[in-house]
Structure 1
Amino acid sequence: MSAIGEPKVVQKDRQKLEDARKKLGSCAKALRARMAKEQVEVWKKAEAEFSVQKMIWQSLSLQRGAKHQGTAAMIESKLEFAVQTHTKDLAAAVEALDLCLERNQGLDLLGVAMLESIEGIKAAALHADARQELAKMLEKAAEDGAPGRARRGRRRSLFFCCHFFAKARFRTENVLVLAA
């Protein structure tokens, strides 16, 4: 028995649980930070590509005339909307980007780099959703002192979607097991 009247085994278990809670909280915080960083990076790249794309459209309007100006203007307005609203409403921004891709079909008004930026944004949005859900699961597990109600298979699919490396997955799953 220890000085406070609890067996040392119970104290060690409580300490392990407290350590696991702290690790779960820091993992959730790291996930959110990674999510924010990825969003900033993909949107920064897209904004740079959008500036280049505008110059390309100006050149194309001289070559192709008024034929493509209406569609290019619509795509440009959707891209501007997406850039301006992505921090407030990511889903609406991604929807606007999807409309741009739809309108661009067969017209080649968007350059390869712009198309890649849009695809990067869409992938980052999927990652953001998965990371957000996983961060919530980690926080719930930290609060409850248990891994929550998420099944192991669901955790694995979230890890895959978040592009976690095997080492990070192993560490986080061990923390979840310790918290059980």
Structure 2
Amino acid sequence: MVKFIKPGKVVILLAGRYAGRKALIVKQQDDGVQDRQYGHALVAGIARYPRKVTKDMGKKRITKRCRIKPFVKVINYNHLMPTRYSVDVPLNKTVVKQEGIKVKHQLRGFDWESLSSQTMDPPYIPSVSSATDLTNFDQFDEPEDDFMAADNAEESGWDKESDTVASVYLPL
């Protein structure tokens, strides 16, 4: 079987936030890995393209409108549509590393190894005095009037002939 999803191939994303965007395959994983047990690819593309600039605009406005917002995402093969185009860009292993996929700016410094080995200490341990201690939970108040709970069928507003709730009984 011929592999047509390979690094340097231009694809169109079919699902998710970047659906309809063109992207470039940086690295492919045909068989999957432990985290993602399906075929997927690391793609890079442009999330926000530069906007139109005219000669009447100032320098500050031109620099704001010329910004490009890139994205890098791991996408399932089912959500990719390959095109006939490819780009000859050297994508070495020094540029693309698997550790870079897990690192987002919110998760920098996170200890992934202790999480996977389940040796991480919990961030908060509530104090409990007994097995029936409910001080860590909020008090639940019952609703005052439950219009659907009735002792007999005539008070409930249920119409047995049409299997609907009578609109006369429902409060507005």
- Taking structure 1 as the reference length, the TM-score comes to 0.21
Structure 1 or 2, whichever has the larger Rg, is 2
- Taking structure 2 as the reference length, the TM-score comes to 0.21
Q: Which structure carries more relative contact order (alpha carbon 8 Å, separation 6+)?
A: 1
Structure with the largest fraction of strand: 2
